[in-house]
Structure 1
Amino acid sequence: MAPADPAETLVRTRAGTVRGTVAAGVHAFRGIPYAQPPTGPLRLCPPRPATPWPGERDATAFGPTAPQPRFPLPPGLDGLYPTVPGDGCLNLNVWTPDPGRAGLPVMVWIHGGGFDGGSSVLYDGSRFARDGVVLVSVNYRLGAEGFLALADATPNLALLDQIAALRWVRANIAAFGGDPGNVTVFGESSGAMCCGTLLAVPAARGLFRRAILQSGAGNLVQTATTARYVGRLLAAALGVRPRRDAIAAVPVERVLGAQHAVMTALASRPDPRRWAGEPGARVTAWQPVIDGEILPGRPLELIRAGAASGIDLLIGTNAEEGRLSLVPFGALDAVTEEQLDTALRLYGLPPGPARHVYRRAAPGASTGDILALLQRDGWYRVPAYRLAEARAAAGEPVHCYEFAWRSPRYGGRLGACHFLEVPFVFDLLDDPRFRALTGDDPPQALADTLHAAWIAFATHGDPGWPRHGLPDRTVRRFGTTPATVRDPDPALRALWDDSVLPR
């Protein structure tokens, strides 16, 4: 084999040789297929291993991303959903300090985006590689293509894609210098929810040793009955039978349009237990499905019964998650008392007592401020606490965090919103795409601290603060000055004990 160009690097995988790039001492390989393109006869089918190739495969550019709708985002935030056209979306990217090394910790990133958007393209893993980690980021099928449930089709294709990527990691990552026995899956938002769900999926057992869940806890899943109902709505919007072959014959762009029609229909009947859509929250029609086989039950119940035994867990949320869906869209000040009461009732919280508890926890908060906190708790913090408590009660290792640094954007009103921790975790504060969230001068020292904690956890399971246990409920709070706190907001935590959220 001829030597590679000094700015290029070659690695032999099970399917063939890939040619990547080298910059600042980091070897990067982009767009490596871990499965065949899910098109033609393979559309809406479980992933199949990538077809081997002869010679060298170009892995110098990101591969195609999963089909997804165009999201109407405010100026500045529209760069957070980069896409690459093409059919072969089942691909991944690898950054490594040196393919010739051995035994490096491996971190596998599952991107978020509401289960119907997002891609791996936004996340540059070079800083992790710079600091001794082999970083893998994964594309997987989204929306109906990834989560459609039909009577005659395999559900949870997106989860099966992620499992296929993890199997690729187990088989190939040693060639990039990584340790296949020391793999950490991590993700944010719906990516974290997928990671939390994988903790309970039997087919994922043994494919990773640790998990980091950022603003997600495996809490958004649908029963098979609900998922098939959504599938029938999609088929009706397309004017076809609710069968795999009928929907697979429809062009992707038409399916994306029908997804929007389904979400619009469900928005008139908001339900946090099935597809969300309560005031302050979007409809999430596409979710992992409790099908009885791939996902045997609710992740929290399965984890409580020991499904994730032996897997180290780091889990947390941001202090003001809900502000991202309200502030940039000019909706925070438009929230009415009626909308707040509707959201409280949908969550199963008594409006009067709940308002009192929230106003005591956040003196001076407006109605919109309280709705943002309500979304934080219903979607992210309460599910995270319940998963952490289940792990702690079983004597399993779990560490908890809260990201509390407040962004100066939107006149300081954006706060410690959803997704804000991501550029700190990846040490990408210099990436201009994130400046619409972080502002122009975010604290690099905080990024250094958070990034190092994630690497420490992936390396040996200890991020640097005490475990979360009962009754102390220790949480590491990452604000301007990081601090360790015990049982933050116990009154709010107790308020949700009788909510509609699974316990």
Structure 2
Amino acid sequence: MTDQPTVQTASGTVRGRTRDGVATYLGVPYAAPPVGDLRFAEPEPAPSWPGVREACEPGPTAPQNALKSFFGMDMFTITGSQWRRGEDYLTLNIWGPAEGTGHPVMVYIHGGGLVAGTKDAAVYDGRNFARDGAVAVTINYRLGVEGFIAIPGAPTNLGLRDMLAALRWVRSNIEAFGGDPANVTVFGESGGAMATACLVTSPMSTGLFRRAIIESGHGSAVYPQEIAHRATRKMAELLQITPDLNGFRAVDAETSLQALRQVSQAGTVDMRDESGFDPSFGQGVINPIVGDDVLPRHPLIALGEGAGRDVDLLIGTNENEFNFWLAPTRLILAPRFLMRPLLRRLGGDAHGILAAYRQQNRRARGGEIISRIMSDLAFRWPARQYAAAHQGRTFFYEFDWYSPASGGRLGAAHGLELPFVFDTLAAVSGPRGWLGKNPPQHLADRVHGTWLRFAADGNVPWLEFDRTTRIVQRLTRGFATPEDTLPAAAFIPPPALDLEDETAA
């Protein structure tokens, strides 16, 4: 039996659907459509509507270049659909228990490198969080050019500003959906985790959430404005416009996406700093920007100064992050003589890091060593840096279940924890799925239950992490151990204090 509950929000009444004890509301606006004068502007409150708004369809998505398949593997379940055109895409989905009040709230920020993805991917279905007593929220936000390119004359970090607007909406409205606005956990994966890490340190997020979960992300993938403007100028050159607000408003989103695709190709724009370091390691030009009111300080510096100390933190990585890109393409099988060409885009001491990892992986193929290097450089070590810098309660995990997909080469790849977190294994299983045919439900019960417990009271069943003890919980093996420093630590410089001070001034 399906009921049709209605809820009054600040902008008007929405009607959802209730089934099997879970009330669902899809496509609820939290901000006005970012078009016309609101394009490249700070998010404004959603305009009110008369009568009752049906909230049964997810609605449009943010403009993006997206893939539906990836070398024979189904991307739809991970990223959501390709761009669904429409202006009113600053919306969110809500799943909550049909009865009761004061439930913990979990707000999810999707991944996709801040250039792709939606709140609507099958793996992000929040009904099982609601089934187990939480109110789950997933959000859209501006991506790519619309959300993160530094455009002179426009506010920076518009995608982060959208997330803050969504969190403010949750604080003001979620009680009507059965949630506790004083018990909010924000969590995200990949690009969404990078954003979450930034929000923890932002002065604009104070009071919006009590806890944060950062899955395969950290706060180091940020650019000062002077470096971010390199991509802006190159895009303007390709688009034949002035590199400012008027210029970018003169071209439509689809045209801008075509230029972004070109600019994002390796080697097109040099995003390295004075020391030769690029926190994206040549993988793109879109990152949050340091030096504005959202991120006045580099997140690691801000953490060291006490930012986010009142936020309970659960952070972790996957054992074979970079297999996500190398296993389906079979580059994971590359022989050793190809390692050096594959590492050239890194900049910095590519020879030194190759020597360090080759020594520790004497029997590995070249592609496997590259995956270990990139997993550690881009994800595993920066996440541990972030955890060590956080002055509040901090717990660290490593996801270590190996998928049989891609001929058993996928391993514990980037994003693989998501169906276990949401308890949505069926969405990512099958012949073309990321989990193979029979993923372990008992592991989903454990991981999903851990995330729920943390959202409820800030606790998990293992000891805290700090820079001395370095306790890491192995989620599949079910035990926590102290961990040594990773070899990548010697090849990632700390944030540039002098540059940071100049940027924030």
Q: Give the TM-score, by structure 2 length.
A: 0.91
Query: CA-atom RMSD, angstroms?
Result: 2.1
Residues 478 and 362 of structure 1, relative CA distance in 2, 3 Å threshold: farther
| Corresponding residue of 1:66 | 62
| Corresponding residue of 1:421 | 417
Distance 1:348 1:226 in 2: 17
Distance 1:78 1:342 in 2: 25
| Corresponding residue of 1:300 | 300
More deviation, 135-144/16-25: 16-25
| Corresponding residue of 2:450 | 453
| Corresponding residue of 1:226 | 227
SS of 1:431's equivalent in the other structure is helix
| Corresponding residue of 1:476 | 473
Mapped contact 1:9–1:21 kept (Cα < 8 A): yes
2:59 paired with 1:55: no
1:424-458: CA deviations, max 9, x gaps? 00000112468621111000000000000001111
Mapped contact 1:215–1:317 kept (Cα < 8 A): yes
| Corresponding residue of 2:251 | 250
| Corresponding residue of 1:30 | 26
Distance 1:165 1:312 in 2: 20
More deviation, 262-271/227-236: 262-271
Distance 2:113 2:429 in 1: 19
Mapped contact 2:266–2:345 kept (Cα < 8 A): no
More deviation, 418-427/238-247: 238-247
Q: Which amino acid aligns with 2:228?
A: A
Distance 1:60 1:245 in 2: 37
| Corresponding residue of 1:126 | 127
Q: Which amino acid aligns with 1:135?
A: A
Mapped contact 1:344–1:351 kept (Cα < 8 A): no
Distance 1:322 1:132 in 2: 34
Q: Which amino acid aligns with 1:351?
A: H
Shift of 1:356: 5.1
Mapped contact 2:3–2:17 kept (Cα < 8 A): yes
Shift of 1:265: 6.6
SS of 1:195's equivalent in the other structure is helix
1:340-393: CA deviations, max 9, x gaps? 4763893644635x44543454452111111101111111111111111112xx
2:381 paired with 1:376: no
2:187 paired with 1:183: no
| Corresponding residue of 1:11 | 7
Mapped contact 1:345–1:351 kept (Cα < 8 A): no
| Corresponding residue of 1:325 | 325
Distance 2:64 2:345 in 1: 32
Distance 1:345 1:472 in 2: 34
| Corresponding residue of 2:144 | 143
Shift of 1:70: 3.2
Distance 1:290 1:406 in 2: 36
Q: How many residues align?
A: 486
Distance 2:378 2:386 in 1: 13
SS of 1:264's equivalent in the other structure is coil
Q: Give the TM-score, by structure 1 length.
A: 0.92
1:87-126 alignment runs, 5 A limit: 87-98=87-98, 100-122=99-121, 123-126=124-127
Mapped contact 2:419–2:428 kept (Cα < 8 A): no
Shift of 1:159: 0.3
Unaligned runs of 5+ in 2: 497-505
Q: Which amino acid aligns with 1:119?
A: T
SS of 2:33's equivalent in the other structure is coil
2:74 paired with 1:77: yes
Shift of 1:20: 0.6
1:189-204 alignment runs, 5 A limit: 189-204=190-205
Residues 333 and 295 of structure 1, relative CA distance in 2, 3 Å threshold: same
SS of 2:302's equivalent in the other structure is helix
SS of 2:164's equivalent in the other structure is helix
Mapped contact 1:347–1:501 kept (Cα < 8 A): no
Shift of 1:151: 1.9
Distance 1:173 1:317 in 2: 30
More deviation, 330-339/361-370: 330-339
Shift of 1:269: 4.4
Mapped contact 1:378–1:501 kept (Cα < 8 A): no
Alignment counterpart, residue 280 of structure 2, candidates 268, 272, 276: 276
Distance 1:66 1:213 in 2: 22
Distance 1:485 1:349 in 2: 30
Mapped contact 1:103–1:177 kept (Cα < 8 A): yes
Mapped contact 1:322–1:373 kept (Cα < 8 A): yes
SS of 1:212's equivalent in the other structure is strand
More deviation, 303-312/72-81: 72-81
Q: Which amino acid aligns with 1:496?
A: A
Shift of 1:206: 1.1
